[in-house]
């Protein structure tokens, strides 16, 4: 599913089209994707509200409205984009929500597999309150990160993907960060040496920032808000490269299951399973 760089790219793509615009019409054909409210209540509540701002928190798209907050999670196949009412898009056949704006455009939410979530809430903390630190923020402090890794004593790969620990990192960028830091994905967090923690902290930030600059990884359904593929998938060192040679040592990249997720790594560059 889209991770921090992909969601950030979508947010940057739709924000200029939404801020200051008022919602005038609502169409939805998959009520189950709207959480906490039935369709009628959702329609009545969101109509005539204005988009005040559009931001990202972890993997959520957060739209501050006049009175409420519209929060959307793309999950596996969700796409969010601006569409004209008379201009069909190739993914319009999977559109389940359209918000008509006062300038004649529409905000479309397309989702083939229908796992995406739509929340309309008065208190955004009810959805976002348990999320961990943003890894690109100043709050992602190296000393605190080191302390938390050693307090939790968990396998490092699923810990990095735990959204209550670190917000926005998923399968792709966890694999890439661990490879760049030369850390085996099965390492237990409290065995990491100070130098390894420093490297991991740096590379988490670096790979996420590069992902944003390259407008995300289009390894599956993800596209930018204007329908383009991202470019980060062409720069990935281990993710989705099973049996291909490591870009550093030439050893074949391996894939294992860690925390029920496919995990890619180089057994030569990331060989240490202990701190020794």
Q: Which one of 158, 255, 261, 267 is the catalytic residue?
A: 261
Q: Which one of 2, 5, 135, 185 is the catalytic residue?
A: 2
Which architecture, in CATH terms, is 142-265? Orthogonal Bundle (1.10)
Q: Which one of 3, 6, 196, 215 is the catalytic residue?
A: 3
Annotated catalytic, 135?
Answer: no
CA distance 207 to 89: 31
Annotated catalytic, 228?
Answer: no
Contact 128/121 with Cβ under 8 angstroms? no
Q: Which of 70, 74, 73, 72 is nearest to 122 (CA)?
A: 70
CATH of the domain spanning 4-128: 3.20.190.10
Residues 76-93 have pLDDT tens digits of: 999 999 987 655 666 677
Residues 11-57 have pLDDT tens digits of: 999 999 999 999 999 999 988 999 999 999 999 999 999 999 999 99
Annotated catalytic, 59?
Answer: yes
Annotated catalytic, 2?
Answer: yes
Q: Which one of 5, 6, 8, 59 is the catalytic residue?
A: 59
Contact 81/54 with Cβ under 8 angstroms? no
Contact 213/6 with Cβ under 8 angstroms? no
Domain locations in the chain? 4-128, 142-265
| 39 C-beta neighbours (distance < 10 Å), count | 14
The mean pLDDT of the chain is 95
This prediction has a pTM of 0.94
């Amino acid at each position: 599913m889209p991770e921090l760089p992909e969601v950030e790219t979508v947010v940057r793509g739709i924000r200029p089209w939404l801020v200051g615009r008022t919602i005038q019409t609502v169409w939805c054909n998959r009520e189950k994707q709207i959480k906490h409210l039935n369709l009628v209540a959702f329609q009545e509540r969101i109509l005539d509200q204005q988009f005040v701002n559009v931001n990202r928190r972890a993997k959520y798209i957060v739209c501050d409205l006049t009175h409420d907050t519209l929060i959307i999670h793309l999950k596996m196949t969700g796409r969010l984009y601006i569409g004209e009412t008379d201009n069909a898009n190739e993914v319009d056949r999977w559109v389940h929500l359209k918000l008509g704006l006062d300038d004649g455009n529409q905000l479309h939410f397309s989702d083939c597999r229908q796992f995406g979530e739509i929340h309309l809430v008065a208190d955004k903390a009810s959805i976002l309150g348990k999320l961990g630190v943003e890894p690109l923020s100043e709050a992602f402090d190296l000393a605190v990160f080191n302390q938390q890794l050693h307090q939790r004593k968990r396998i490092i790969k699923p810990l990095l993907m735990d959204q209550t620990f670190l917000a926005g990192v998923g399968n792709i960028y966890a694999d890439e960060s661990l490879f760049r830091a030369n850390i085996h994905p099965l390492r237990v967090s409290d065995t990491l040496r100070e130098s390894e923690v420093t490297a991991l902290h740096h590379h988490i930030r670096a790979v996420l920032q590069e992902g944003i600059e390259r407008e995300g990884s289009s390894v599956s359904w993800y596209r930018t808000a204007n329908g383009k593929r991202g470019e980060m998938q062409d720069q990935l060192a281990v993710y989705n490269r099973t049996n291909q040679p490591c870009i550093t040592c030439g050893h074949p990249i391996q894939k294992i299951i860690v925390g029920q997720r496919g995990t890619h790594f180089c057994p030569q560059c990331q060989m240490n399973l202990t701190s020794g």
